[in-house]
């Protein structure tokens, strides 16, 4: 896994630099998310590895599936990945791109896991507290885990906090 991230890193950096210079960070996030989903599809994975397809055919397959959601720059990126036999790395490229994007936008994705559903007012309070503590904008994902007896677990980057109900 570490090796795939090492190989994917220069492609993610190139995509980020281009998207940042073009002021299209969100658009490239959406495009990379789409391409990562295409690459992760089991039937597509078999086609990516097929010795019967040329690099051009592999790229065209991705471009056809992505259709109108792809622009000329993203099509060129797909062709580059196909030419270098890196289409399988699209999930890793997308993940690494998102890390760079969040860093540039001073954004942190946080996860709040609780035993019971969290009210909107508590979500706002947790978001504001994390924002003050981390000095960044917070994107909060909430979920419930019936295995917890009470309290909550919050993960934000390297930060993990657990609170027990009193």
- The rounded distance, in Å, linking the Cα atoms of 116 and 111 is 14
pLDDT at 81: 96
pTM: 0.73
Q: Enumerate the domain spans of the chain.
A: 2-103, 106-163
pLDDT in tens, 130-161: 889 888 888 899 999 988 887 888 888 666 66
pLDDT at 166: 39
C-alpha closest to that of 48 among 35, 34, 33, 30? 35
pLDDT in tens, 44-91: 988 888 899 999 999 999 999 988 889 999 999 999 999 999 999 999
Structure tokens at 142: 């909430």
Structure tokens at 50: 């097929």
**Domain 2-103 maps to which CATH number in 1.10.520.20, 3.40.50.12780, 3.40.50.1110, 3.30.499.10?**
1.10.520.20
């Amino acid at each position: 896994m570490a090796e795939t991230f090492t190989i994917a890193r220069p492609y993610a950096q190139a995509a980020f630099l281009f998207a940042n210079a073009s002021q299209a960070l969100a658009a490239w996030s959406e495009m990379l998310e789409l391409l990562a989903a295409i690459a992760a599809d089991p039937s597509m994975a078999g086609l990516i590895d097929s010795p019967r397809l040329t690099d051009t055919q592999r790229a065209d397959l991705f471009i056809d599936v992505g259709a109108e959601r792809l622009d000329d720059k993203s099509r060129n990126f797909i062709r580059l990945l196909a030419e270098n036999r890196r289409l399988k790395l699209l999930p890793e490229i997308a993940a690494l791109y998102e890390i760079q994007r969040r860093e540039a936008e001073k954004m942190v994705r946080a996860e709040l896991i609780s035993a019971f559903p969290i009210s909107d007012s508590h979500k706002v309070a947790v978001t504001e507290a994390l924002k003050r503590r981390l000095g960044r904008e917070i994107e909060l994902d909430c979920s419930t885990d019936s295995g917890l007896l009470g309290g909550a677990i919050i993960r934000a980057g390297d930060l993990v906090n657990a609170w027990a109900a009193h």
